[in-house]
Amino acid sequence: MLALGHHVFGARNTTLAALLPAARQLGFQQLSLTGADSVPRPGPFAAAQRETGVRIVAVRAGCLDARIGAARLASEDLASLDPARSARAYSALAEHAAFARSVGCPLLILDGGRGDAPELDDRVRHLEGFIARGESCAEAAEEIRLMARKDRDLQLDRLCRLLHRLAREHAEMRWALLPATRPDELLDGESARSVLSDLRLPQLGIWVDVGRQRVGERMGCEPSVHVLATLAPHLVGLDLHDAQGHRDHLVPGDGEVDWRMVAEQAPRGATRVLSLETAARREDLERARRVLESLELA
């Protein structure tokens, strides 16, 4: 069954309860709460869920950040070697886990973290400028990767220890890691496989954001086909949207993603979330669903 990303409604001032009948009216029985937009207050959520039958199937770390005053996505600093930053990230993730439980959601999606060097964000922005102008960026991307890898082993060790703690303290939750879509992020395919192998936690898996993965390829990250093929045994869900250049959350088929490849690699049991632009038109949602149904992705 295809779920819908909540940010498609573009409604920051409504309640989460109000989104459930809106999703059902569009033909969706499942919602995913993304980090792209702040999640509205729950409102009379339990009553709305009973009336509509719409379920929340995934919560992405970051969706509460505006509410709890986090300056960055909740999970980005989890692997930081700065104890204060790492502790703040852990606390924010614990709040997200509590929120997910309160809306009956068993799954929290989180980033694998970024390199600690303070200049990395600026370098990535410059890299995005090179790509937008159609200029060569391979050398700049490699420099960023090398900077991010300086303390990567130490950061991955911290990530593993804190993931183990999260799994122990929130035993009823499942967790899904996002592979790198920027050259300063830690979890390339090899690192993700290593983390999963080291931890051997049955409640830990991988979530692939298909559109962002395609954008990441332009910045020198691993090709989507390789990420999906090598991590498929651990894949618990996918955000489905297309990408063209640096613009993503497009209707599948309107960008550069190889959708036949995605359909071939996606495990049948993985959760699929249609994640279109904020305030997408109803006809775009219907067109996206037809495309995904034709590929047996919905």
Domain ranges of the chain: 2-115+150-294
Highest mean pLDDT: which of 90-94, 144-148, 259-263? 259-263
pLDDT at 153 over 80: yes
Q: Please give the structure tokens belonging to residue 69.
A: 């005053």
pLDDT of residue 73: 63
**pLDDT grade for 129, boundaries at 50, 70 and 90:** confident
pLDDT at 68 over 60: no
Choice between 289 and 42, residue whose per-residue pLDDT is larger: 289
Whole-angstrom distance, CA of residue 296 vs CA of residue 298: 6
pLDDT of residue 13: 55
Domain topology for 2-115+150-294: TIM Barrel (3.20.20)
Whole-angstrom distance, CA of residue 30 vs CA of residue 20: 9
Alpha helices in 53-115 (DSSP H): 65-68, 83-102
pLDDT at 254 over 90: yes
Residues 80-99: pLDDT tens digits? 999 998 999 999 899 999 99
pLDDT at 24 over 60: yes
Residues 1-19: pLDDT tens digits? 899 999 888 765 578 999 9
| Side-chain half-sphere CA neighbours of 51 within 13 A | 13
Q: Are 8 and 276 in contact (CB under 8 A)?
A: yes
Q: Are 62 and 74 in contact (CB under 8 A)?
A: yes
pTM: 0.91
Average pLDDT of the chain is 89
Give the contacts of 291 (CB within 8 A, at least 6 positions apart): 251, 252, 253, 259
pLDDT at 205 over 70: yes
Element (H, E) at 25: helix 16-25
